[in-house]
Structure 1
Amino acid sequence: MDEAHKLNLWEGYVDWRNRPAMRGRHGGMLAASFVLVVEVLENLAYLANASNLVLYLSKFMHFSPSSSANIVTNFMGTAFLLALLGGFLADAFFTTYLIYLVSAAIEFMGLLLLTIQARVSSLKPQPCFSSTTSISCEQFDGRKALMLFTGLYLVALGVGGIKGSLPPHGAEQFDENTLPGRKQRSAFFNYYVFCLSCGALIAVTLVVWIEDNKGWQWGFGVSTAAILLSIAVFLSGSPVYRTKVPKESPITTIFKVLAAAVYNTCKIRNPSNAVMGMDTSTSYVTETSDGEDSSNVKRKATSQTPTESLKFLNRAVMNKTGKPILECRVEQVEEVKIVLKILPIFMSTIMLNCCLAQLSTFSVQQASTMNTKLGSLKVPPASLPVFPVIFIMILAPIYNHIIIPFARKVTKFEMGITHLQRIGTGLVLSIVAMGVAALVEMKRKRVAEANYGSGLANSTKPLPITFLWISLQYLFLGSADLFTLAGMMEFFFTEAPKSMRSLATSLSWASLAMGYYLSSVLVSVINRVTSIYGHKPWLFGSNLNEYHLERFYWFMCVLSALNVFHYLFWASRYKYNSTSPQITSPDSSQLMQQN
């Protein structure tokens, strides 16, 4: 191969046929545009059901309000947690291109099962029978429950694979070694959240209306068709994609470095090996693997010894372990250090996503007890997320085209504001959102008590209070989501070593998963504790008016405030990788050198 042809190749990237990717032919904004369109369709398919699922489970599948909420949060949590599996497979064994196609096919099969169950009455429990004294409902179990949960968790598996592969696949289309490429990649993450919102807008308006007025079989059918169309759109972009070649397993690298550090520590502490430990403390394995991109690990080109941070791991690169399988390169140790440093940031975002979980559960149930009419139009409660969605769709372009250019001039940073500042803004907004949610629930309960008095628990008619009050907490949580989700994805992608980028980007979705799981745990723990020390659990009963939801929201507000202090502790100590481009600009090279 002649030298000119080599220079025209994207090193470490291939096209969809596994041939070397070519500059000018593969990658760029055109390739990323296909990913953005796919995300609109994919999120439409997912969120159309997730946003309204709590009502489907309670009204048609006869689960209690708290059980329905927990099923939804567990389902959504599993879907986002499985993004780690998708990211891991994309980094270690398969390309992001292939992972998306397989995952979309799995989600399609799950949605097809749910569509069939919603269509065939014999696969659902019979409608409840009302008498003058009680309401009798068929218990939902057996093969009907098996079909429901099989469909739900096939969807969860597919969604996880897509979330773990699609964002890094789009971000990989840009040349991070050029300033325009880095700016385009930053814009991609902003517009990725914008496209998430576009899909959500269609889902919580058109599809939710179809589910409530035409039947759930039509709602599931629209989602099934959307995911099938997304596969066709994704395949149409195949000729212009460039895809990173998978390398060694990132999980294997992490455990290998940790095991080597522990092994060498034990040998040093053994008196018979004390001389060896002293003799080899400055002898390191520094070979690099073929084709490894040196721009993605701190000072990789010139490093002869590991950096001083997390010094315990430096013992992993002593070259006289006597165990070839445990021999580690300096570059591998530095990669693991980077991953460990971003984990506290990841942990700090879980509480925000626990707050976001309320948008799909209790907030929808609150709205279902209120007046949902806008003039002559009756708005389905599950369409409430339209408020944060529209706000995000307005704010995302403003943020990208007005706020960021202005911030670049002020701060001299390439990205305008750092990713950690952006994430922190979202965390602060989550405190405000939970405080507003508590105040709104207190107002809703006062209206309920004024209208129903002692018959509060048996009230089923809509309250004479508009559901627009609920939109306030949606607006604040939607704003928090815009700042934090886009900030997390770009932060994890740019900070992580190249061999671990898909897995690291998946941490954004894993944070969502942990938030949903934490929400379920909090509901269970709060009910258990309040049943012991109070007259009745806060979040228990057949009617939402019996709940003490306002106390739960105040508790979430306090936890969110404590979480911000936890985040500030770690964020103030975090140092960006010196070769990471997100804090540089054409006129700030000196600042980069200082960092």
Structure 2
Amino acid sequence: MDEANHLNTWEGYVDWRNRPAKRGRHGGMLAASFVLVVEILENLAYLANASNLVLYLSKFMHVSPSTSANIVTNFMGTAFLLALLGGFLADAFFTTYYIYLISSAIEFTGLLVLTIQAHLPSLKPPTCASMSTDNPCKEVNGGKTVMLFTGLYLVALGVGGIKGSLPPHGAEQFDETTPQGRKQRSSFFNYYVFCLSCGALVAVTFVVWIEDNKGWQWGFGIATATILLSIPLFLLGSPTYRTKVPAGSPITTMFKVLAAAMCNNFKARSLSTAVTTVPSHTHESSEGETNRAKEKGSNQALTESLKFLNKAVTMKPVHPMLQCTAKQLEDVKIVLRILPILMSTIMLNCCLAQLSTFSVQQAATMNTSLGSLKVPPASLPVFPVLFIMILAPLYNQVIVPFARKVTHTEMGITHLQRIGIGLMFSIVAMAVAALVEIKRKNVAAKHGLLNSTRPLPITFLWVAMQYLFLGSADLFTLAGMMEFFFTEAPLSMRSLATALSWASLAMGYYLSSVLVNIVNGITGAYRSRPWLVGTNLNMYHLERFYWLMCVLSGVNFLYYLLWASRYKYRSTGLDDDDFDLAEHEHPTPKD
């Protein structure tokens, strides 16, 4: 009876009441579908304000344009970085289920604070007609500033927790020991990006229009109501969810293994006998760990990669607290091996940051009319969003099945190949952006408008070309990164590893700001006017900056190829090209 009950349950997973999750009742595409619907609402609530926040700060809070831009950059970067905290807490202490509920409640509170402030005139600076001495615009200060930043960073904390818990919660619903489960999980990540885009589409069109024409209290109110609605929808799927049991702090494990390896390597160099022989008790310890791993079905053995870390297990620790198991050691090795892949995606996200900075300013100088419709600059991201919404189902239903037939592999296109395709698209996008900027400035020169701020007689649809390439890059790389980090990470670190995708996005935003400052500093040292300074975009050398981004993206792609070609997938230890075919013959072992 006990054996039958064991076969009917998911080992290491529980339901929302913390009871063992049952096969056939918990998990699967139905459970993941609730996550996808919730993601539409969550991203709508976040982007409804983030995409247009700089206007709210400058126009209604009277913050200077440069300060407003910094506040928005810091807000968005912080939100994505806090995904690491959400992922860590989900892995270590709570489940992804409870982290989402806590985080959505925090984001709701922050949005409610911002809605109240936007609605009540007494909580905002006095309105002003201009910057004249008769009616000067006073920047938000005192308690009003505290309220503004309290609301913003409560939202950032909530968004971070949601981003760090919702994607792994959805991915946890699939059985990775079967080819069908792995295919469904891959489809989930594709449609997760699709749902991100669905929420973004409504945010940058309908909600932006509401904010510009009806008032920001309505924009914040819509976002508040949306995140509130997402909570009961998420709870509606509770009977179908299975969630991974928290396994303790993965950060503690990493530091323990690294500390043990460093101490034991130092000890080995200090003792000549430790170089040539290994004490008998270490063999027993390592063998004992291997036997225990086999009992758990992991068949864990020490690998030759990052061999210097092996002494964390093969030598007696200098302190009992540094005692490590072979499984802990191999888990840390896995994390260290995926870090170079993570670093190679930061440059791509730096390129994506241009979607909300210089690309918008480019389009703002051009003719933004489509017939009788005047398109607001803040709605320009609708182009990559629409393209992703078209490409995501096409990729899942057409491209992947075709690739499976050609490559005779389970996935068709592997995780690393997807990321690489996205990186190539980013190179093309920056080259296209540079060429479009050259054309835009040639039109300005031809019509004598270089020193003018008047709209140029050239359609903003030229800028849409770089948006399409960057949108393609985002689809391939973001979905590829999430699936790669989730699949390759140890079971105890999957939420934290998936959050690395968002951390890469945050670091890309920060790198964009750093690059602009470095470029201005260097170019300002040998010429009277830096490349990217001034109020008139026509006087910028933005095309040179884009060419620089193109070159840096190309160098980054070569760096990526170096690490991707050497990467061994965790599941089989085979090269990238052979991974999926081998999985047909040898299913992925459980952690």
Partners of 2:94 and 2:164 in 1: CA distance: 12
Residue in 2 that maps onto 1:497:
490
Letter in 2 for 1:168: P
- The structure 2 residue matched to 1:529, chosen from 522, 531, 534, is 522
Q: Does 1:473 align with 2:466?
A: yes
Residue in 2 that maps onto 1:187:
187
Partners of 2:43 and 2:450 in 1: CA distance: 43
Structure 1 position 190, deviation (Å): 0.6
Q: Does 1:403 align with 2:404?
A: no
What are the equivalent positions in structure 2 for 1:252-331 lying under 5 Å apart? 252-271=252-271, 274=274, 278-279=278-279, 282=283, 284-285=285-286, 301-303=298-300, 305-331=301-327
Q: Residues 168 and 294 of structure 1: is their aligned pair in 2 closer, same or farther, counting only changes over 3 Å?
A: farther
Structure 1 position 407, deviation (Å): 0.7
Q: Residues 528 and 62 of structure 1: is their aligned pair in 2 closer, same or farther, counting only changes over 3 Å?
A: farther
- CA displacement, residues 517-538 of structure 1 (integer Å, 9 cap, x when unaligned): 1112112222333332221233
- CA displacement, residues 533-560 of structure 1 (integer Å, 9 cap, x when unaligned): 2212333334444433323222211111
Percent identity, aligned pairs only? 73
Q: Residues 105 and 341 of structure 1: is their aligned pair in 2 closer, same or farther, counting only changes over 3 Å?
A: same
Partners of 1:476 and 1:15 in 2: CA distance: 41
Q: Does 1:210 align with 2:206?
A: no
Partners of 1:43 and 1:184 in 2: CA distance: 22
Partners of 1:591 and 1:20 in 2: CA distance: 24
Deviates more, 1:388-397 or 1:529-538: 529-538
Q: Does 1:165 align with 2:161?
A: no
8 A Cα contact 2:264 2:315, kept in partner: no
- CA displacement, residues 392-447 of structure 1 (integer Å, 9 cap, x when unaligned): 11111111111111111111221101111110010011011112122222333344
Q: Does 1:338 align with 2:334?
A: yes
Partners of 1:293 and 1:65 in 2: CA distance: 61
8 A Cα contact 2:27 2:173, kept in partner: yes
Q: Does 1:483 align with 2:483?
A: no
Q: Residues 56 and 452 of structure 1: is their aligned pair in 2 closer, same or farther, counting only changes over 3 Å?
A: farther
Q: Residues 151 and 363 of structure 1: is their aligned pair in 2 closer, same or farther, counting only changes over 3 Å?
A: farther
Residue in 2 that maps onto 1:15:
15
Residue in 2 that maps onto 1:139:
139
Structure 1 position 185, deviation (Å): 0.6
Structure 1 position 143, deviation (Å): 3.0
Structure 1 position 466, deviation (Å): 2.0
Residue in 1 that maps onto 2:457:
464
- CA displacement, residues 1-54 of structure 1 (integer Å, 9 cap, x when unaligned): 622222111111111111111111111111000000000000111111122223
- The structure 2 residue matched to 1:348, chosen from 338, 344, 348, is 344
8 A Cα contact 2:367 2:460, kept in partner: yes
Structure 1 position 386, deviation (Å): 1.1
What are the equivalent positions in structure 2 for 1:536-551 lying under 5 Å apart? 536-551=529-544
What are the equivalent positions in structure 2 for 1:72-87 lying under 5 Å apart? 72-87=72-87
Partners of 1:141 and 1:541 in 2: CA distance: 27
Letter in 2 for 1:6: H
Partners of 2:513 and 2:277 in 1: CA distance: 49
Partners of 1:157 and 1:192 in 2: CA distance: 21
Deviates more, 1:243-252 or 1:445-454: 445-454
**Equivalent residue of 2:210, what SS?**
helix
Letter in 2 for 1:112: L
Letter in 1 for 2:121: S
Q: Residues 117 and 361 of structure 1: is their aligned pair in 2 closer, same or farther, counting only changes over 3 Å?
A: farther
Letter in 1 for 2:498: T
Structure 1 position 140, deviation (Å): 3.9
- The structure 2 residue matched to 1:371, chosen from 367, 374, 390, is 367
Q: Does 1:555 align with 2:548?
A: yes
Residue in 2 that maps onto 1:429:
425
8 A Cα contact 2:572 2:583, kept in partner: no
Partners of 2:131 and 2:70 in 1: CA distance: 29
8 A Cα contact 1:54 1:361, kept in partner: no
8 A Cα contact 1:285 1:327, kept in partner: no
- CA displacement, residues 372-405 of structure 1 (integer Å, 9 cap, x when unaligned): 2211111121111111111111111111111111
Q: Residues 587 and 342 of structure 1: is their aligned pair in 2 closer, same or farther, counting only changes over 3 Å?
A: closer
Partners of 1:356 and 1:216 in 2: CA distance: 26
Residue in 2 that maps onto 1:54:
54
Residue in 2 that maps onto 1:4:
4
Partners of 1:472 and 1:190 in 2: CA distance: 23
8 A Cα contact 2:264 2:318, kept in partner: no
- CA displacement, residues 466-505 of structure 1 (integer Å, 9 cap, x when unaligned): 2212211110000000000000000111111111111111
Structure 1 position 55, deviation (Å): 2.9
Letter in 1 for 2:299: T
8 A Cα contact 2:44 2:223, kept in partner: yes
Structure 1 position 286, deviation (Å): 5.1
**Equivalent residue of 2:566, what SS?**
coil
- Which ranges in structure 2 are unaligned for 5 or more consecutive residues? none
What are the equivalent positions in structure 2 for 1:416-455 lying under 5 Å apart? 416-451=412-447, 453=449, 455=451
Q: Does 1:577 align with 2:570?
A: yes
Letter in 2 for 1:532: A
8 A Cα contact 1:99 1:161, kept in partner: yes
Deviates more, 1:264-273 or 1:214-223: 264-273
Partners of 2:131 and 2:147 in 1: CA distance: 30
Alignment size in residue pairs: 585
- The structure 2 residue matched to 1:564, chosen from 532, 557, 561, is 557
Q: Does 1:380 align with 2:376?
A: yes
Structure 1 position 294, deviation (Å): 8.5
- Which ranges in structure 1 are unaligned for 5 or more consecutive residues? none
Q: Residues 352 and 157 of structure 1: is their aligned pair in 2 closer, same or farther, counting only changes over 3 Å?
A: same
What are the equivalent positions in structure 2 for 1:94-105 lying under 5 Å apart? 94-105=94-105
Q: Residues 206 and 399 of structure 1: is their aligned pair in 2 closer, same or farther, counting only changes over 3 Å?
A: same
- CA displacement, residues 230-281 of structure 1 (integer Å, 9 cap, x when unaligned): 1111011111111100002111111110011011112212237637963357
Q: Residues 327 and 291 of structure 1: is their aligned pair in 2 closer, same or farther, counting only changes over 3 Å?
A: closer
Q: Residues 243 and 287 of structure 1: is their aligned pair in 2 closer, same or farther, counting only changes over 3 Å?
A: farther
**Equivalent residue of 2:457, what SS?**
strand
8 A Cα contact 1:48 1:208, kept in partner: yes
8 A Cα contact 1:45 1:226, kept in partner: yes
Q: Does 1:44 align with 2:37?
A: no
Structure 1 position 454, deviation (Å): 6.8
8 A Cα contact 2:178 2:587, kept in partner: no
Partners of 1:394 and 1:502 in 2: CA distance: 28
Q: Residues 166 and 513 of structure 1: is their aligned pair in 2 closer, same or farther, counting only changes over 3 Å?
A: same
Residue in 2 that maps onto 1:229:
229
Q: Does 1:518 align with 2:511?
A: yes
**Equivalent residue of 1:466, what SS?**
coil
- TM-score, structure 2 length as denominator? 0.92
Structure 1 position 345, deviation (Å): 0.3
Partners of 1:126 and 1:464 in 2: CA distance: 38
Q: Residues 502 and 248 of structure 1: is their aligned pair in 2 closer, same or farther, counting only changes over 3 Å?
A: same
**Equivalent residue of 2:507, what SS?**
helix
**Equivalent residue of 1:11, what SS?**
strand
8 A Cα contact 1:318 1:327, kept in partner: no
